[in-house]
């Protein structure tokens, strides 16, 4: 699977599946304001627009009033994308459960999922002004 190209998605179309840690969002907001740019894109499923990576970044951008979000759109059905968890001893949800929770607005606790991609996330700074 090749690394996806950067796209810009209307913020209201992206669906979270996981809660965030508010102090982490506050820290990220401070960095975004200081730098005037976001360095890493959000990763989302191209079909459902469920966020797979970047819930804290998305929340921070929404709080700043961003209308467009830099997103790497991926095929979540691909076997090259795996889901795990950051929580030791816990069984990760399935991909179907991730999508179902997002569609229902029933968010998992923070750091319940950890997605593995066949490529590395790379910094592609996008000025905040381009997102408003």
**Which amino acids are annotated catalytic?**
18
Q: Which residues fall within 8 angstroms of residue 95, CB to CB, at 6 or more apart?
A: 76, 77, 81, 83
81-98 burial, b at 16+ Cβ within 10 Å, e below that, comes to bebeeeeeeeebbebebb
Check: CB of residue 58 under 8 Å from CB of residue 42. yes
């Amino acid at each position: 699977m090749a690394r996806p190209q950067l796209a810009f998605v209307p913020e209201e179309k992206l669906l979270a599946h996981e809660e965030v840690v508010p102090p982490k969002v506050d820290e990220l907001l401070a960095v975004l304001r200081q730098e005037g740019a976001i360095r890493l894109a959000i990763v989302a499923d191209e079909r459902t627009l469920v966020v797979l990576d970047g819930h804290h970044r998305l929340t921070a951008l929404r709080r700043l009033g961003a209308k467009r979000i830099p997103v790497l759109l991926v095929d979540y059905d691909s076997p090259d994308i795996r889901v795990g968890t950051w929580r030791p001893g816990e069984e990760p949800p399935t991909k179907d459960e991730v999508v179902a929770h997002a569609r229902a607005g029933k968010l998992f606790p923070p750091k319940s999922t950890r997605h593995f991609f066949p490529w590395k996330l790379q910094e592609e700074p996008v000025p905040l002004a381009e997102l408003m």
